[in-house]
Amino acid sequence: MTTENNTNLLKRGAYVFLSLAVLTILEFFIATGRVAASIPLMALIMIGKAALVVQYYMHLGKTLQMDAAEAHE
């Protein structure tokens, strides 16, 4: 891996981390505030956070690409 690739991966990881932090703060304010329709909003945020975790930290996208490549061999 090149230094440029490592830098891009670190930036991407930082963006994902910050996105999760912002979504968590948003969840907190929705849960403690008097926001109408808070349950649907919380559900949407939860799905978004789960998608970020699965895609980035669990490397699901890379795993699926590897499985597809192996199937075509």
Give first-to-last CA distance, the chain, whole Å.
25
Burial degree of 2 (CB within 10 A; 0-12, 13-18, 19+) = exposed
What integer pLDDT is reported at residue 3 of this predicted model?
A: 82
State the amino acid at position 35 in one-letter form. V
Coil, helix or strand at residue 58: coil
- What pLDDT is attached to residue 35? 72
According to the model, what pLDDT value does residue 45 have? 94
Q: What is the pLDDT of residues 15-70, one digit of tens each?
A: 999 999 999 999 998 888 877 778 889 999 999 999 999 888 887 767 777 766 67
pTM of the shown model: 0.72
Q: Residue 1 — pLDDT band, cuts 50, 70, 90? A: low
